[in-house]
Structure 1
Amino acid sequence: MNFQKRIAGSGLLATFLLSTTAMADVGARDVWESWRGYLGGFGYDISASEKTDGNTLSINDLTLGMSIPDEDGTVTVEMGSLQFVENGDGTVAIVMPNQMPMRILADVEGETVDAVVTISHTGFSTIVSGTPEEMTYTYNASELGVALTSLVADGEPMPEGMVVNAIMSGVMGRSKMAVGETITTQQKMSVDTLTYVVQAEDPEGGGTVDIKGSMSGLEMDADAVVPTGDYGEDPAAMFAAGFDIAGSYALKGSDLAFMLTEDGAQTNATITTGASNMAIKMNDMAMAYSGTLADIQLNAMGPDIPLPIDVAMGEFGYGFEVPLKADEQPQDFAANLTLADLAVSEMIWGMVDPGQVLPHDPATMIIDIVGKATVFTDIMTLDENSDEVPGELNAMSLKDLQLHIAGASLTGMGDFTFDNSDMESFDGLPRPEGALDLNIKGVNGLMDKLVQMGLLPEDQVMGARMMLSMFSVPGAGEDELTSRIEVNEQGHVLANGQRLK
């Protein structure tokens, strides 16, 4: 956790390199000292030579170093030079060279890495305003680039001709930062386009890889509170000290093309998406993560793929929220998954349904669950080797259940509460009480078609129909069944009023 936290700090340094208010009042040294406090809060040792000439503070030979005790290693980042220029109106401009090489040296458990990453820019501007206690970075650039220009791993140089780079165009952003016992940041950023390339060749002639991709219309928003200090031995203390992050991003579209050549054979794949978004939240109270991808198209073909893959999906969505802090009162949790309008090509359908017996409509699966649970012990301090039960389930609701495939469908919803004082009625599980309502359409017709195709034997279908008759009753329409599964306060299980347990 400590290593990851420090690496996160070095990643956020890019915000400062890229990152005015009329009532601003900061000087060049204020900004530099804020940087030192920020990076020191993430555990970096900082060395540099300083020179002041008029309104300009020049920082040369900037080097960041940190040790990784758990991994018996060190990491050093040589940043080169940059300048802090006072504008005369209480604001400071950060000036960096058009080409700024960053050398990264790592030695972890005897494995060494020596890499140079070059940051380049066109039309770059970063203005710092505010006060020494709270600074705002306003930045923009026509183009920003990051490229891996050299790499030596365990004495072996990167393959000749290897290319790894990313370029952002139309960059605009604003970042507010305060450094004290915690590092507090508020960031907003937009990027018109992001393109990236990874190209490499096996030095022994075994093959090549070529990856190219792009994203458009990126919008990012993130707030964070990170306590300063070393929490490597006690990550839970970092949460108790105020660790809190919340962020989101959205984009209008993306595409990725992948080509792998191996032993003279070529594998190709492309993925495109429409509008997408992601959100994350984490603090000592709860953790939540969610996202959606729309209009997904996947195509792939190669020697190890028996036939070309052509898959489309209208939406892929996911999310969860779980409580982390102990409380005597029940707390909310949730989970959901959406696979909407999943369609495959007729070539793939032809393998399983050459006679076109089944409807080839897109398939959909949706599951949406919410509930309440009581947490006995803070999850962040929970001993992973402990047999202690960290909490209990109090209630759960199936808000939405949908499954549509090959002309058949299953939908449902239900609500249950759980009696944790009764662990006997259901063999060590808390006794539920509530009901689940289901609606099933087209299932008999689907089973008939599967028998016709020879995919299901008739005797198995007979058994399935007998089982359905035990749990369901005819619905309002043709080939429609409904089922209401209830558990009462005595622990009895009923299907459509008929007791099963």
Structure 2
Amino acid sequence: MNFGKRVAGSSLLASFLLSTTALADVGPRDVWESWRGYLSGFGYDVSAQEKTDGNTLNVNDLTLGMQIPDEDGTVSIDMGDIQFVDNGDGTVDVVMPSQMPMHVVVDADGENVDATVTLTHKDMTTVVSGTPEDMTYDYNASELTFDLTKLVVDGEELPGLVVNAIMQGVLGQSKMLTGDTMETQQQMSVDSIAYVVQAADPDGGGEVDLKGNMTGLKADAQMVLPLGDYTEDPAALFQAGFDIAGSYAIQGSDVDLSFEEDGAPGKAKVTTGAGDMAFEMNETVMAYGGAVSDIQINATGPDIPLPIDVSFGELGYGFEMPMKASQDQQDFSLGLVLGDLAVSEMIWSMFDPGQVLPHDPATLVIDLAGKATILKDIITLDEDSDEVPGELNALTLNDLQVHIAGASLTGMGDFVFDNSDMVSFDGFPRPEGALDLNIVGINGLMDKLVSMGLLPEEQVMGARMMLSMFSIPGEGDDELNSTIVVNEQGHVLANGQRLK
């Protein structure tokens, strides 16, 4: 099953199960037929018993089935009974029982998984409005609970398995517009999510108990999905206009994990402050990025010699890359932030018992941007191929920061690349540009490492000689500057002195 199918199927099912306004006229059969048509378009075989009773369309024994060509298997989902109720004002209520077991069977690659997931809700309402071609689902619930009530793998039920999630204060809206493609827009907020995973090794080798919470979740997503079966040709799905983008944000989270392995216990706790994530994927671009603040990690275990106590002020990440071939140069970027990384004094005491080094938090920042010429559509590449799908044209180091143990390295640079010259730099396109670096406190750090016995004196002497070749003294105490230039002849110069 390809990526687009998975995203589309899960997104639509979530919309249907948690999906309500008042615009024009839709009837119960309009809503049900739209479900059937959408699901059939995703490759599901839809089976159900239909019966109209007054203003209500009862859909009983709803079952979805799908083939998995890549794995020579099948997926079957039994969703039970659903009612579509005509409100008489152009809107339709979607009514599900307060407890709705969903039976899922996956048979692929000689393995069989049989699971039952029960959806339980309190005060849940779902109202559909609009027109048959342009429907809006507004939904809310004071509480939604998902329970994995049974899991059987190859005929054996896993004992002691508990998997559930409880969502409090659910509010959302989904819009679905159909034509040559299906377009969806979704927004949802959840006051809190609490989840539990408990499992035990059937052979008695260990057990796991995980509990977690998230608060203040807000999410939105937009998708354009071409109708039809693209299971055999995922590239065609993108070429036909598949486009998905979305984001989410949370106010905070925490996870508690305890485990036992061969009789030895362990535990871990992770807490975070606010975080967010955004993504985009279509025929032309793939992008992903996010950030989390105030991360605290504490862990102990049988293979950990002393308790881990680590914190981050910020963890950020992101990338953007072009996907479609073009003769024009296209932008790409990559970024990473590890801000204010701090470890406990117990960890410091392992290698700095005399407190010779400053124990200030460490920081790493890398911000890269560039341009590349994509020679072949990325989505069509064979994952096992060694083929290079493009050429590097330009690379800019917008920001480099390394701060650790009282020393720092900062830098910026800008290079262009000549892909017609693959000789000057041994198979790599010849760069042209400059890199500016500033180093503070490096000599003091090396002196301290020598006094602690962590670095041999002769190695430090070699490092200082190397630094003298590439740098010149700066204005401050223990400060070095370096400008590395690669000119159009392929010569490498450090502060005006030719090295290559």
Q: TM-score range, shorter-chain basis?
A: over 0.9
Q: Which amino acid aligns with 1:418?
A: F
1:325 alignment partner in structure 2: 324
Matches within 5 A, 1:265-344: 265-344=264-343
Once the two structures are superposed, what CA deviation does each residue of 1:94-133 show, in whole Å capped at 9, x if it has no partner?
Answer: 0000000011112112211221110000010111011100
Match in the other structure for 2:491: 492
Match of 2:82 in 1: 82
Q: How many residues align?
A: 500
SS at 1:373 equivalent: strand
Distance 1:311 1:360 in 2: 13
Structure 2: state its 5+ residue gaps: none
1:150 equivalent to 2:146? Answer no
> Which residues in structure 2 correspond to 1:125-274 (within 5 Å)?
125-159=125-159, 161-274=160-273
Amino acid of the residue matched to residue 411 of structure 2? G
| Counterpart amino acid of residue 112 in structure 2 | T
Q: Give me the whole-angstrom Cα distance separating, in 2, the residues matched to 1:264 and 1:427.
A: 55
Could you say if the C-alpha distance between residues 23 and 233 of structure 1 is closer, same or farther in structure 2, counting changes exceeding 3 Å? closer
- State the partner residue of 1:469: 468
Q: Cα deviation per residue 1:396-435 (whole Å; 9 max; x = unaligned)?
A: 1000000000000000001111122222221222211111
Indicate how the Cα distance of structure 1 residues 263 and 417 shifts in structure 2: closer, same or farther if over 3 A, else same: closer
- Is the contact between residue 20 and residue 126 of structure 2 (CA under 8 Å) also seen in structure 1? no
User: Structure 2 length as normaliser, TM-score?
Assistant: 0.97
The 5-angstrom pairing of residues 104-119 of structure 1 reads 104-119=104-119
**The 10-residue stretch of structure 1 (242-251 or 484-493) with the greater mean CA deviation from structure 2:** 484-493
Q: For 1:462 and 1:63, how far apart are their aligned partners in 2?
A: 73
Name stretches of at least 5 consecutive residues in structure 1 with no aligned partner: none
Structure 1 CA distance for aligned equivalents of residues 287 and 7 of structure 2? 22
Q: Provide the residue aligned with 1:397 in structure 2.
A: 396
- For residues 53 and 340 of structure 1, the distance between their equivalents in structure 2, rounded to whole angstroms, comes to 62
Inter-partner Cα distance in structure 1 for 2:115 and 2:205: 24
Note if 1:5 corresponds to 2:5.
yes
Distance in 2 (alpha carbons) for counterparts of 1:7 and 1:289:
15
Moved more, 420-429 or 136-145: 420-429
**TM norm structure 1:** 0.97
Q: Is the 8 A contact 1:192 1:217 kept in 2?
A: yes
Rounded to whole Å, the distance in 2 between the matches of 1:21 and 1:215 is 28
**CA separation in 2, counterparts of 1:42 and 1:151?**
26
Q: Determine the C-alpha separation between the residues in 2 that align with 1:62 and 1:151.
A: 21
Report the Cα distance in structure 1 between the residues aligned to 2:147 and 2:8, rounded to whole angstroms. Answer: 19
Q: 1:355: Cα distance to partner?
A: 0.7
- Flag the 1:10–1:383 CA change in 2: closer, same or farther, 3 A: closer
CA contact (8 A) 1:258 1:268 kept: yes
- Is the Cα–Cα contact under 8 Å of residues 321 and 333 in structure 1 kept in the other structure? yes
Distance in 2 separating the partners of 1:381 and 1:307: 48
Q: Do the aligned residues in 2 keep the contact of 1:3 with 1:68 (CA within 8 Å)?
A: no
- 8 Å contact kept, 2:22–2:91: no
> What displacement does 1:148 show?
0.8
Work out the percentage of aligned pairs sharing the same amino acid: 72
- Amino acid of the residue matched to residue 17 of structure 1? L
**In structure 2, what is the Cα distance between the partners aligned to 1:317 and 1:451?**
34
Provide the secondary structure at the position in 2 that maps to 1:130.
strand
- Relative to 1, partners in 2 of residues 1:473 and 1:5: Cα closer, same or farther, differing over 3 Å? same
Q: CA deviation at 1:310?
A: 0.3
What's the secondary structure of 1:365's corresponding residue?
strand
User: How far is the alpha carbon of 1:11 from its aligned partner?
Assistant: 5.4
